[in-house]
Amino acid sequence: MKLNIRWTVGRRIAVITGIGILTTVVVGLVSVSTVNGAVDKSRATSDLAVAAKLVSDIDEIRVSLAADAFEAASTRNPASVAPRVKESVGQATELFSQIKALDLPAKQARSVAAAEAAFETYTPVVTDFVDSAAADQAKARTDVEKVQAAADAVDDVTEAAQSDLTGRSNASYQALTSHLDSGRNLVIIVSVLGLLALSGLAYAIARSLVVPLKASIKALQDFAEGKLSHRLPENSSGCVGDLEVAFNRSIESVSQIVTSVAGSADAVAAASE
């Protein structure tokens, strides 16, 4: 089914403008989508990296607590160690609270929960050992291996959690980089396709205007030379089509007038004879 559309100059310009606007909108939507996705992935990457750093700090506290316990078994004033142990335990609790406030994937959240559970088992061992050393240092020395074993057990769990968080953080960063690259490439592709569409359409529209106008100019030049048989093909639509029809009618009218005048002149010449 052929659509009967009058392709006026205004409509042709409107089509070009419409494609330009559509391309701009698509590029804008792709850019917004890319930015939103990048923000989400960046936030996830940041949370994972922060969690990995906090777990590392907790592991340092683990080492510090073990050192405090060994100091309590050897120092002349083991009671002085207890306040430091209490402060370190409070710091670890605060760090775990900060990790819980982060938006971590389920697997990494479970790793952190396992590290917290192990640490909650470890801290009473250290606290009890320090209190025992303050009461009977010689007896406490016989339990040093228990503290070391508890510290090693926590080390295994915190190391696993830190490794899990670091690995997921690196993977999230790679996903963020890939997302940005894909978004950039998509914007470039849409922009290039839109530019090609605009260029092709502009060329087609310009040709649809220029070719008929050149034919009209040639016809007018022939008319100026007295050639009244030239007609334009009425193939165009819109304003250009109206021009072709109007030109042909004008030439036809002039031809009829000339023919009529020539006939009258012949009649007068014959009568005069």
Per-residue pLDDT at 1: 43
Low-confidence ranges of the chain (pLDDT < 50): 1-3
Say which DSSP state 80 is in: G
Instruction: Provide the pLDDT for residue 8.
Output: 67
What pLDDT, on the 0 to 100 scale, is given for residue 233? 74
Q: Which of 178, 239, 184, 183 is nearest to 212 (CA)?
A: 239
Cβ(228)–Cβ(254) under 8 Å?
yes
The reported pLDDT for the residue numbered 95 is 95
Q: What is the pLDDT of residue 273?
A: 59
What pLDDT is attached to residue 2? Answer: 46
- pTM comes to 0.65
Q: How many CB atoms within 10 Å of residue 271?
A: 7
Residue range 143-186, pLDDT digits in tens: 889 989 999 999 999 999 999 999 999 988 898 888 888 888 88
Output Rg (C-alpha) for the chain, integer angstroms: 45
Say what the pLDDT of residue 209 is.
Answer: 73
Alpha-carbon 243 to chain mean position: 49
Six-digit token pair at 248?
């042909």
The Cα 66–Cα 126 span in angstroms is 7
d(CA 244, CA 240): 6
